[in-house]
């Protein structure tokens, strides 16, 4: 059931990814929650908690520190959510930091259309602009935090992408990357391999009515760097104090680092 997606060039992969997400955009949210059995909510929540921790923005339950702009529930904090898709990670950032200024960016316009629609329905202030992580249209040092949820697997050049992220973060700014990972221990490793390589391509294809999207997903995961290698690429792009944690028996990993 494994399918090898060999792209001839970076442009070919980029245009496949953009077209594919454009085609599944309307069904994306449903599948996201369904195929992750709803775990994706807690993974996104944890990713934003890490962003807050590393930016030293306290949680609602901790006693309030002396007021500074940074400490008023994210007041003054500028967050860029890259590969924002339909917005779930950006909206989680706003849920935890209602005063933050959140911008989403993504190469797939139909995903951004849904982002804007959902933001309006939820009464949230968040901007969504079309953009490619490998050539961000933002000035140097313009964000306190950059987040990515399930986007990095789809990028064509992680070195270029991470250097761009480093460029747009201000010194001391925080990058948080939430991505699928590969469980390493029995029995999760075996269950996961069965799920991703055998079950998902069939169930995903039938329900999404897209021929390749759910074959591309396990393929992109197979080719993705492991936890240590991803941390190394972040360091090579200039990030300091790079660390990561895994969740749900190693199904996802959250890497973070400071500029």
Ligand X SMILES: C[S@@+](CC[C@H](N)C(=O)[O-])C[C@H]1O[C@@H](n2cnc3c(N)ncnc32)[C@H](O)[C@@H]1O
* Residues of this chain that bind ligand X (CB under 6 A): 14, 17-18, 21, 32, 82-85, 88-89, 106-108, 111, 132-134, 149-151, 154-155
Closer by beta carbon to ligand X, 74 or else 85:
85
Coil vs helix vs strand at 148 = strand
Instruction: Quote the CA–CA distance of 111 and 210 in Å, as a whole number.
Output: 16
Closer by beta carbon to ligand X, 94 or else 107:
107
User: CB count, 10 Å around CB of 75?
Assistant: 16
Q: How far is the CB of 67 from ligand X (least distance, A)?
A: 32
**Cβ-proximal residue to ligand X, closest one:** 85
Q: How far is the CB of 68 from ligand X (least distance, A)?
A: 30
Q: How far is the CB of 74 from ligand X (least distance, A)?
A: 19
Q: How far is the CB of 44 from ligand X (least distance, A)?
A: 6
CA distances 191 to 185, 187, 200, Å, are: 10, 6, 12
Closer by beta carbon to ligand X, 37 or else 185:
37
Closer by beta carbon to ligand X, 75 or else 110:
110
The answer for 83, left when phi > 0, alpha when psi is -120 to 50, beta otherwise, is left
Distance of CA 142 to the CA centre of its chain: 19
CA distances 32 to 27, 88, 228, 247, Å, are: 9, 10, 26, 17
Closer by beta carbon to ligand X, 71 or else 91:
91
Q: How far is the CB of 53 from ligand X (least distance, A)?
A: 20
């Amino acid at each position: 059931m494994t399918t090898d997606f060999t792209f001839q060039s970076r442009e070919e992969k980029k245009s496949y990814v953009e077209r594919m997400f454009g085609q599944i955009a309307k069904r994306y949210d449903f599948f996201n929650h369904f195929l992750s059995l709803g775990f994706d909510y807690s993974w996104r929540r944890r990713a934003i908690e890490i962003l807050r921790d590393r930016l030293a923005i306290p949680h609602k339950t901790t006693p309030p520190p002396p007021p500074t702009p940074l400490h008023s529930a994210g007041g003054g904090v500028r967050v860029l959510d890259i590969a924002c898709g339909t917005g779930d990670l950006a909206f989680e950032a706003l849920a935890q930091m209602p005063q933050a200024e959140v911008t989403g960016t993504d190469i797939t316009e139909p995903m951004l259309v849904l982002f804007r629609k959902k933001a309006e329905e939820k009464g949230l202030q968040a901007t969504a602009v079309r953009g490619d992580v490998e050539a961000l249209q933002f000035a140097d040092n313009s964000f306190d935090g950059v987040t990515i949820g399930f986007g990095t697997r789809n990028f064509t050049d992680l070195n270029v992408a991470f250097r761009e992220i480093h460029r747009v973060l201000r010194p001391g700014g925080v990058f948080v990357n939430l991505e699928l990972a590969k469980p390493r221990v029995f029995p999760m490793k075996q269950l996961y391999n069965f799920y991703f390589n055998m079950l998902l391509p069939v169930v995903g294809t039938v329900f999404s009515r897209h021929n390749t999207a759910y074959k591309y997903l396990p393929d992109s995961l197979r080719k993705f760097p492991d936890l240590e290698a991803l941390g190394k690429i972040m360091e090579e792009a200039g990030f300091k104090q790079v660390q990561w944690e895994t969740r749900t028996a190693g199904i996802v990993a959250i890497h973070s680092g400071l500029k």
